[in-house]
């Protein structure tokens, strides 16, 4: 854990208190209607749209001085955008930050769910670029809201079926659509479908913030999250023939690293905390 000092020129966590209250109300509504996209008056933040402004606003609205924050991008704590967002909260909220998933009370993420299982009391905040799962089927917002209201999800199933008829399988690998609490079809955000099973009946609260699109949605703890599929084409996750070249894990999402220009490549854990934790545990064991 790293202690930080707050910049007194800004209100705690940057946003003013009225704005935080407005966002908290949207979050409460989102929690009350799992998977439903709640419009909120998203603010301009000092980082660009598409770089996590929704997640940052959600985190700013829920974070308190005693929280410990972890920020990841692609599973890693040290990618440039994760570093930038962590620094932002260190500066404006002065909260403790960590790379350790178990130490964190709030984890803000882009594109991954940590490999280390999160527990009750922790909150996972997702950065969402396009919150509307039906957007690629219907560009008009007025129309997609109507489709959600009527649970008119036939076109989504047709899309998945067309995948199967073209490619022999469902060809969606990330932002895989899910049905939340048996009611709303929801965008899982661009996490790999590998991570989708972690959303189902999770003990922790999951909040989703889309700043540019001005939407917040949520999955409360212990809520059913079902990946859309067919009986004869059940949902399945990616798997690798390789193990992580650093820690040897065979159960984590692996990033491919190109090692030379002659086709050489290796695979390593995308979750850097998980990977380094396994290496440290190994070293401890061999030392003992």
Which residues contribute to the site for other proteins (CB under 8 A)? 10-11, 14-16, 18-19, 39-46, 48-51, 53, 73-76, 78-84, 87, 110-112, 129, 139-142, 167-169, 171, 173-175, 190-194, 212, 214-215, 238, 240, 245-246, 253-257, 259, 266, 268, 270, 272, 275
Instruction: Name beta bridge partners: 124.
Output: 107, 206
Residue 227 falls in the annotated catalytic set = no
Catalytic residue among 55, 227, 275, 277: 275
Q: Which is nearer to other proteins, 114 or 223 (CB)?
A: 114
Q: Which is nearer to other proteins, 164 or 224 (CB)?
A: 164
C-alpha dihedral (61, 184, 230, 157), degrees to nearest 10: -110
The three-state DSSP-derived secondary structure of the chain is CECCCCCCCCECCECCHHHHHHHHHHHHHHHHCCCCCEECCCCCCCCCCCCCHHHHHHHHHHCCCCCEEEEEECCECCCHHHHHHHHHHHHHHCCEECCCCCCCCEEEEECCCCCCCCCCCCEEEEECCCCCCCCCCCCCHHHHHHHHHCCCCHHHHHHHHHHHHHHCCCCCCECCCEEECCCEEECCCCCEHHHHHHHCCCCCEEEEEECCCCEEEEECCCCCEEECCECCECCCCCCCCCCCCCCCCCCCCEEEEECCCCCCEEEEECCHHHHHHHHHHHHHHHHC
Catalytic residue among 54, 55, 247, 277: 247
In the complex, least distance from residue 174 CB atom to other proteins, rounded to whole angstroms: 4
In the complex, least distance from residue 187 CB atom to other proteins, rounded to whole angstroms: 13
In the complex, least distance from residue 117 CB atom to other proteins, rounded to whole angstroms: 19
Any idea what the Cα angle at residue 268 is, between residues 187 and 174, rounded to 5°? 15
In the complex, least distance from residue 145 CB atom to other proteins, rounded to whole angstroms: 8
In the complex, least distance from residue 146 CB atom to other proteins, rounded to whole angstroms: 11
Q: Which is nearer to other proteins, 81 or 102 (CB)?
A: 81
Catalytic residue among 209, 211, 244, 277: 244
Q: Determine contact, residues 45/73, Cβ cutoff 8 Å.
A: no
Q: Which is nearer to other proteins, 61 or 191 (CB)?
A: 191
Q: Which is nearer to other proteins, 16 or 120 (CB)?
A: 16
In the complex, least distance from residue 222 CB atom to other proteins, rounded to whole angstroms: 27
Catalytic residue among 75, 209, 211, 269: 269
Q: Which is nearer to other proteins, 29 or 224 (CB)?
A: 29
Catalytic residue among 35, 55, 209, 211: 35
Please identify every residue annotated as catalytic.
35, 244, 247, 269, 275
């Amino acid at each position: 854990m790293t202690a930080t000092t707050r910049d007194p020129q800004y209100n705690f966590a940057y946003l003013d208190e009225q704005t935080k209250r407005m966002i908290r109300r949207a979050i409460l509504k989102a929690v009350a209607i799992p998977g439903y996209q709640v419009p909120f008056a998203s603010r301009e933040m000092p980082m660009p749209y598409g770089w996590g402004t929704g997640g940052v606003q959600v985190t700013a609205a829920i974070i308190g001085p005693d929280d410990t924050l972890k920020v990841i991008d692609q599973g890693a704590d040290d990618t440039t955008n994760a570093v930038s967002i962590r620094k932002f909260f260190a500066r404006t909220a002065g909260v403790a930050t960590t790379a350790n998933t178990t130490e964190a009370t709030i984890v803000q993420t882009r594109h991954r769910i940590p490999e280390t299982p999160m527990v009750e009391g922790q909150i996972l905040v997702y950065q969402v670029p396009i919150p509307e799962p039906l957007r690629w089927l219907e560009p008009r917002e007025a129309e997609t809201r109507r489709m959600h209201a009527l649970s008119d999800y036939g076109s989504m199933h047709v899309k998945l079926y067309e995948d199967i008829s073209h490619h022999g399988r469902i060809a969606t690998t990330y932002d895989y659509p899910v049905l939340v609490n048996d009611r709303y079809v929801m965008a899982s955000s661009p996490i790999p479908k590998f991570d989708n099973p972690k959303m189902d009946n999770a003990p922790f609260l999951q909040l989703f913030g889309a700043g540019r699109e001005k939407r917040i949605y949520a999955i409360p703890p212990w809520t059913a999250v079902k990946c859309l599929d067919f009986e004869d084409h059940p949902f399945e996750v990616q798997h690798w023939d390789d193990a992580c070249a650093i820690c040897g894990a065979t159960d984590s999402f692996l990033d491919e690293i190109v090692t030379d220009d002659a086709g050489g490549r290796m695979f390593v854990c995308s979750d850097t905390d998980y990977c380094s934790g396994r290496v440290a545990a190994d070293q401890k064991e061999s030392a003992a």
